């Protein structure tokens, strides 16, 4: 008779398995579930070496899946960078920069943030002068809340090769001093790449950041995640961590093909080389990343209708395709090629025109290649037009949802100022997408557009369209709120499919990995505010306890 390695009994188990939605106990062996059922049945698997864990009535559910998190970026922010929070003032940020310059030698880059577009007027016509007043010896590079824009001092611009007579960079924006025409220190999209290249991490720093990211994710109940934008440095770090045993949860990574944050296109054959070189037992690399547009606060998100005139936008010259980072015909060919090579593509698309262009490219790939079975993803899917709502299901495309971006937060006034109240109220049409039977996944985009990677505040936001932080009252598009029963699959089964692991995780089913979390109360018995404050008592991945409160 087979004996279990571990038995978890005496609880209430939500399995997310339609064949058996609820259970009382679990048994695991070699990291996989060998029994999910009643306490008496599972206790029959107890043998001489079995560890029996009494749940004392606690609630068990599958671990959560985070489908869009820059784990190394976030952990580096925690460990090494300036971080003043998403609601700090400009003076707070400048004081933090001043202190860091006093601590660092001039050969160390002073990096961090975030700054926000609402600070732009205070920064003046020549923002680099504010940073130069702190130091012209140190290289100072500050990212905005979205991480699509950078603010640099003169030393950083010089080292990045962005001198006073630099030409414009295709796909990017170099803001210029109106008097001299020289770069004023603010860069957007592709123009940020030369400055980003100055921010270097040692292998030891990246290894420590990876361990911090795993500790943090496990404490939140995350048992699988996807890195949405991986260059060789990230791939090398993740593989090395997997080989050391530090990669304690399941993961996949989207290899960059195009990114305004990283310079030139990565050739298809080079992507294949990276996939072959860095794939490992727990690092899945059949994924690719493209950027179709930017972000609204930089006027770089691609919208069918213009930004509001009051924001300073030139409405008369509006061209929806002018802000696309990849021309539609070129994008179609990219999708066809990546689909043929077996890559599931995640496309950053914020504006409705970018989303439509991404769906058009998926349609082109389906027409040429047939349905490959790959579920290509529109990352963020902030503003989906009525016409495009049914196309996700029709094309087998996935709409990623990022609730931390849209429920009331420090960025909401900026969104309204650039896009208008009516359009912001159409941000993340989750209920409409579900009505049209689109498949949805969850991504925090931490730390690029979110102060943290906490999935519980995101889940709560889906149910209420509110932020549980009282500093940000109000509600956005309350008619787009969804029920807990509709939201949980987004964080579990759908997330597992997004990693290509639907047969291995996402539900508590015999034969799958033992990936689950232990909570004090059943989610159906708590208020949205209590849901947002959830702290797992334990996180188990592949049968191992990777977090214990």
Residue 157 pLDDT greater than 80, yes or no: yes
- pLDDT score, position 488: 98
d(CA 341, CA 195): 32
Residue 406 pLDDT greater than 80, yes or no: no
Least confident range from 392-401, 438-447, 462-471, 484-493: namely: 462-471
- pLDDT score, position 181: 93
Least confident range from 27-31, 66-70, 294-298, 543-547: namely: 294-298
Residue 290 pLDDT greater than 90, yes or no: yes
- Asked whether this chain's domains 6-62+512-548 and 81-196 adopt the same fold, the reply is no
* Cβ–Cβ < 8 Å for 105, 138: no
Nearest of 437, 443, 306, 314 to residue 382 by alpha carbon: 443
- Is-cis flag, bond preceding 114, omega within 30? yes
Classify 476 as helix, strand or coil.
coil
Which distant-in-sequence residues (6+ apart) come within 8 Å of 488 by Cβ?
A: 14, 16, 61, 459, 523
For 458, what's the count of Cα atoms within 13 Å in the CB-facing half-sphere?
32
* Cβ–Cβ < 8 Å for 531, 463: yes
Q: What is the pLDDT of residues 410-463, one digit of tens each?
A: 888 888 999 999 999 999 999 999 999 999 999 999 998 888 999 999 999 999
Query: What is the distance, to the nearest Å, from the Cα of residue 41 to the centroid of all Cα atoms in its chain?
Result: 41
* Percent of the chain's residues with pLDDT above 70: 100
Average pLDDT (203-212) is 97
- pLDDT score, position 450: 86
d(CA 61, CA 507): 8
Nearest of 226, 419, 443, 409 to residue 315 by alpha carbon: 419
Beta strand segments in 41-81, E = 51-54, 59-62, 64-66
- pLDDT score, position 171: 86
The reply to whether CATH 3.40.30.10 applies to domain 6-62+512-548 is no
Residue 405 pLDDT greater than 80, yes or no: no
pLDDT category of residue 121 using cuts at 50, 70 and 90 = confident
Q: What is the pLDDT of residues 509-525, one digit of tens each?
A: 999 999 999 999 999 99
Whole-number average pLDDT of the chain: 95
Nearest of 486, 484, 490, 465 to residue 476 by alpha carbon: 465
Residue 408 pLDDT greater than 90, yes or no: no
Q: Which CATH architecture has domain 81-196?
A: Roll (3.10)
Average pLDDT (18-24) is 96
pLDDT category of residue 328 using cuts at 50, 70 and 90 = very high
Average pLDDT (375-399) is 98
Q: Tokens 């008619």 appear where?
A: 479
* Cβ–Cβ < 8 Å for 209, 76: yes
CATH superfamily of 203-498: Metal-dependent hydrolases (3.20.20.140)
- DSSP states along 6-60: EEEESSEEE---TT--EESEEEEETTEEEEEE-HHHHHTT--TT-EEEE-TT-EE
For residues 232-268, b (16+ Cβ closer than 10 Å) or e, as one string? eebbbbbbbbbeeebbbbbbbbbbbbbbbbbbebbeb
- pLDDT score, position 146: 85
Nearest of 70, 84, 139 to residue 116 by alpha carbon: 84
pLDDT category of residue 533 using cuts at 50, 70 and 90 = very high
Provide the residue ranges of all domains of the chain, joining segments of one domain with +.
6-62+512-548, 81-196, 203-498
- pLDDT score, position 134: 97
Residue 372 pLDDT greater than 80, yes or no: yes
Q: What is the pLDDT of residues 235-257, one digit of tens each?
A: 999 999 999 999 999 999 999 99
Which helix (H) or strand (E) is 272 found in, with range?
Answer: helix 268-278
Within 33-79, residue ranges assigned H as helices are 39-43, 71-79
The neighbouring-strand residues paired with 226 are 252
Nearest of 166, 175, 178, 100 to residue 144 by alpha carbon: 175
Residue 404 pLDDT greater than 80, yes or no: no
Least confident range from 58-72, 287-301, 353-367, 383-397: namely: 287-301
| Dihedral class, residue 420 (left if φ above 0, else alpha if ψ from -120 to 50, else beta) | left
d(CA 442, CA 50): 36
Cα dihedral 60/470/451/78 (nearest 10): -80
Nearest of 205, 191, 195, 258 to residue 231 by alpha carbon: 258
Q: Are strands 22-23 and 25-29 parallel, antiparallel or unpaired?
A: unpaired
Residue 120 pLDDT greater than 90, yes or no: no
- pLDDT score, position 118: 84
* Cβ–Cβ < 8 Å for 385, 436: no
- pLDDT score, position 472: 87
| Structural Rg of the chain based on CA atoms | 24
Q: What is the pLDDT of residues 454-463, one digit of tens each?
A: 999 999 999 9
């Amino acid at each position: 008779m087979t004996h279990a390695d571990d038995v978890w009994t005496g609880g209430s188990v939500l399995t997310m398995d339609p064949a058996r939605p609820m259970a009382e106990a679990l048994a695991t062996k070699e990291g996989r579930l060998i029994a999910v059922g009643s306490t008496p049945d599972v206790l029959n698997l107890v043998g001489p070496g079995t560890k029996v864990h009494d749940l004392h009535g606690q609630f068990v559910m599958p671990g959560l899946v985070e489908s869009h998190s820059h784990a190394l970026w976030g952990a580096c922010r925690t460990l090494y960078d300036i971080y003043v929070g998403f609601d700090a003032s400009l003076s707070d940020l400048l004081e933090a920069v001043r202190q860091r310059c006093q601590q660092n030698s001039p050969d160390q880059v002073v990096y961090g943030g975030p700054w926000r577009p609402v600070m732009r007027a205070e920064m003046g016509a020549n923002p680099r002068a504010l940073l130069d007043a702190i130091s012209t010896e140190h290289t100072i590079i500050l990212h905005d809340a979205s991480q699509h824009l950078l603010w640099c001092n003169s030393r950083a611009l010089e080292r990045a090769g962005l001198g006073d007579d630099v030409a414009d960079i295709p796909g990017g924006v170099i803001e210029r001093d109106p008097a001299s025409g020289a770069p004023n220190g603010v860069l957007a999209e592709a123009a940020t790449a030369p400055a980003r290249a100055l921010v270097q991490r040692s292998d030891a720093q990246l290894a420590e950041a990876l361990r911090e990211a795993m500790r943090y994710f496990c404490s939140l109940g995350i048992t699988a995640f996807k890195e949405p934008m991986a260059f060789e440095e990230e791939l090398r770090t993740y593989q090395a961590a997997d080989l050391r045993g530090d990669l304690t949860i399941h993961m996949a990574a989207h290899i960059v093909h195009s990114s305004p944050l990283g310079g030139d296109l990565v050739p298809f054959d080079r992507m294949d080389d990276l996939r072959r070189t860095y794939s490992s037992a727990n690092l899945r690399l059949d994924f690719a990343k493209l950027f179709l547009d930017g972000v609204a606060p930089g006027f770089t998100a691609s919208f069918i209708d213009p930004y509001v005139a009051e924001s300073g936008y030139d409405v008369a010259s509006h061209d929806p395709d002018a802000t696309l980072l990849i021309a539609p015909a070129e994008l179609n060919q990219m999708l066809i090629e990546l689909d043929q090579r077996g890559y599931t593509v995640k496309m950053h698309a914020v504006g409705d025109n970018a989303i439509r262009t991404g769906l058009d490219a998926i349609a082109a790939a389906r027409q040429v290649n047939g349905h490959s079975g790959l579920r290509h993803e529109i990352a963020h899917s902030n503003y989906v037009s009525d016409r495009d709502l049914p196309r996700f299901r029709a094309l087998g495309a996935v709409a990623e949802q990022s609730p931390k971006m849209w429920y009331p937060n420090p960025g909401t006034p900026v969104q309204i100022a650039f896009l208008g109240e009516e359009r912001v109220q159409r941000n993340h049409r989750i209920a409409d997408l579900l009505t049209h039977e689109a498949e949805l996944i969850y991504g925090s985009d931490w730390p690029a557009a979110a102060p943290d990677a906490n999935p519980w505040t995101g889940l709560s936001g889906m149910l209420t369209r509110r932020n549980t932080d009282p500093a940000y009252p109000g509600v956005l598009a309350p008619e787009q709120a969804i029920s807990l029963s509709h939201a949980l699959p987004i964080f579990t089964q759908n997330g597992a499919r997004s990693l290509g692991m639907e047969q291995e995780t996402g539900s508590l089913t015999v034969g799958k990995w033992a990936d689950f979390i232990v909570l004090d109360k059943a989610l159906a018995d708590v208020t949205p505010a209590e849901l947002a404050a959830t702290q797992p008592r334990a996180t188990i991945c592949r049968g191992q306890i990777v977090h214990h409160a």
